[in-house]
Structure 1
Amino acid sequence: MPTVPLVPTVRRRQLGGLVRQYRKSAGMSGEAVAVAMRWDPGKISRIENAKGQLNPKDVPRLLGCMGVEDAAAVAVMEALARDAGKTGWWQTYSGVMAPSYADLISLERDAHSVSEWSPLLIPGLLQTSAYAREAISSHALTRTADEVAALAEVRVTRQSVLTTRPERPPLKLRAVISESVLHQRFAVQPELMQEQVALLIARSRLPNVTIQVMPLNSTPHPGGAGAFSLFGFPHPMPDVVQIENLKGSNYAEGGEDVTLFDDAFNLIVGSALSVDDSLALLKKMEKWKTT
């Protein structure tokens, strides 16, 4: 029976990236590591390229041969190796989801925090079901009504990470939303934004959620370049930046790219209304929309 190739999941890519990082820091070739581990020469390459499995029991010995004795690094890599092939509830929707969207959901499940700048839409983790359907149908131009409904269901189900996650605390979310987004109108559902603003107010009361509004008269800031999200991970995993466009999402891990977007987000936060002023504006808009 032919061997089924492994799917390079987010966790496998993260695991492979860490193995490559530690190997290079140790000044070792893949062949040298393979000899030390008594593996076939191609195994390290497959692991680093997210196409091979790493047994969790081999992690301490593998790191040890590369001079890594950090207990936190061992624990994180053992967890990645153990969970690399696991799938989640979103696999039920694999027929309508792009691989990059599955990556996003996996990142939200594993990260300890996400910082999001959203100039054109309410962030997905903060959308009502009705808003999600309208937003998806307006952007996914080739989707059928059933596919739009399925994707909206996925978007709402994703939000559970803000209240409960297996084996880890709820995701910390810091979102900066453009005020212009709050003025959107939906002719078919005039009450839609009223419900959406009410949900933003409710979500802002969660201890792990921070919402700020970028006012229409804000000072210039780097957010004009477009939407992005920064995912923070525990040491030694690198942070990840997601950049969205009409075709989907692109991801970059660690290094100068993440530093650039982290600096940009701090400047965006500085140009936005304070948390208290943002909440006051949301409450004012909710009251205005009900009159």
Structure 2
Amino acid sequence: MARGHGPEVGKRRLASELRRLREAAELTIGEVSGHLRCSASKVSRIETGHVGVRPQDARSMLRLYGVDGQELEELVQLAHDARARGWWHAYSEVFTGSFVGLEADADSLRAFQALLIPGLLQTRRYANAVISAMRPNASDAEIKRRVSARMRRQRLLTEASPPSYVAVMDEAVLRREVGGREVMVEQLARLCDAARLPHITLQVVPFGAGAHAGMEGPFLILGFPDEADADVVYVDSTTGGVFLEEPEEVRRYSLMFEHLRACALDHDESVRLISHLAFAVQGGESAM
């Protein structure tokens, strides 16, 4: 499947079009819900992409908005496509939102992490240590399942047409010993290996940079190949992430990311630092 043509992106694009067409037809959500004989909250959730829309309901809505012909059929096809199930549905207890589906279709990913190695670059043992620490009440089976889901997600960076991936990390990420010395040596080596791939750029914000734009926490900016699909920001947290889609919010985070890149070491300098720390830890020295 080509980048930008997956079910989550299709659902997001259809939701945006349905809202635009309803407003152009000067109809309220209440009027549409009355026509469909459903709740107004359902129509609202369809327009925000929180729930999918059945093809027959999409057709009814579009006809109500005065849409017909090829445009109608193309949008109804989007409703069909959005019902497809991606690989992540097998991990529905782990991935509860649309994040992984959108990530799978992005053609550019810009990530910042202040405390952890980005999930797409974690080794299995590092991921196990992180998830175990962050979910102290989880069973061994749950932790194993979450680690497996994270490893499956990482295939995104090694598929035939991977997205460009720029990961900026605070220096603290590299110096925090997670899982023990052996795990950290393996993890730092993994970063050096990933840095050799042409579509991956790593940058480290050194301690010497002082205060910086990413100190509030991690975020990811997802970009898509089709101009109809605007960039979206995903702000992660332990209780679940949130999507930011308003143009002003996306611009703010894009500017933050550019500031972070400007104060970070460049790719080659960052890889040299990571390599140096790997050798130091392997030799028994403290990363600090």
With the shorter chain as reference, the TM-score category is 0.7 to 0.9
Distance in 1 separating the partners of 2:223 and 2:264: 21
Offset from partner CA, 1:210-253 (integer Å, 9 cap, x none): 11011111143210111111111221112111111221211122
- Aligned residue in 2 for 1:274: 266
**What is the identity, as a one-letter code, of the residue corresponding to 1:126?**
L
- Aligned residue in 1 for 2:79: 81
Decide whether aligned partners of structure 1 residues 217 and 18 sit closer, same or farther in structure 2, where only a CA change above 3 A counts: farther
Offset from partner CA, 1:238-269 (integer Å, 9 cap, x none): 21111112212111224211111111111111
Offset from partner CA, 1:36-85 (integer Å, 9 cap, x none): xxxx5569947535342247x96xx87x9569x9x9xx98x677434211
* Match status 1:160 vs 2:155: yes
Aligned residues: CA RMSD: 3.5
Distance in 1 separating the partners of 2:214 and 2:126: 23
* Match status 1:243 vs 2:235: yes
How far did residue 91 of structure 1 move? 2.1
Question: What are the ranges of 5 or more consecutive residues in structure 2 without an aligned counterpart?
Answer: 1-6, 284-288
Residues 30 and 45 in structure 1, CA contact (< 8 A), matched pair in contact too = no
Distance in 2 separating the partners of 1:78 and 1:268: 42
Distance in 2 separating the partners of 1:200 and 1:29: 52
Distance in 1 separating the partners of 2:119 and 2:85: 21
Distance in 2 separating the partners of 1:261 and 1:205: 27
Q: Secondary structure of the equivalent of 1:242?
A: strand
Bigger mean CA deviation after superposition, 275-284 or 77-86: 77-86
The correspondence for 2:218, drawn from 215, 219, 227, is 227
Distance in 2 separating the partners of 1:219 and 1:66: 55
Distance in 2 separating the partners of 1:18 and 1:263: 28
Residues 108 and 171 in structure 1, CA contact (< 8 A), matched pair in contact too = no
**What is the identity, as a one-letter code, of the residue corresponding to 2:92?**
S
* Match status 1:147 vs 2:142: yes
TM-score where L is the length of structure 2: 0.79
Distance in 1 separating the partners of 2:76 and 2:108: 21
Identity, % of aligned positions: 31
**What is the identity, as a one-letter code, of the residue corresponding to 1:90?**
W
- Number of equivalences: 267
Decide whether aligned partners of structure 1 residues 78 and 263 sit closer, same or farther in structure 2, where only a CA change above 3 A counts: farther
**What is the identity, as a one-letter code, of the residue corresponding to 1:284?**
H
How far did residue 288 of structure 1 move? 1.9
Distance in 2 separating the partners of 1:264 and 1:29: 38
Distance in 2 separating the partners of 1:30 and 1:53: 20
TM-score where L is the length of structure 1: 0.78
How far did residue 23 of structure 1 move? 4.3
Q: Secondary structure of the equivalent of 1:273?
A: coil
Residues 239 and 254 in structure 1, CA contact (< 8 A), matched pair in contact too = no
Distance in 2 separating the partners of 1:161 and 1:80: 23
How far did residue 109 of structure 1 move? 0.8
- Aligned residue in 1 for 2:207: 216
Residues 119 and 227 in structure 1, CA contact (< 8 A), matched pair in contact too = yes
- Aligned residue in 1 for 2:252: 260
Residues 121 and 181 in structure 1, CA contact (< 8 A), matched pair in contact too = yes
**What is the identity, as a one-letter code, of the residue corresponding to 1:20?**
R
* Match status 1:112 vs 2:107: yes
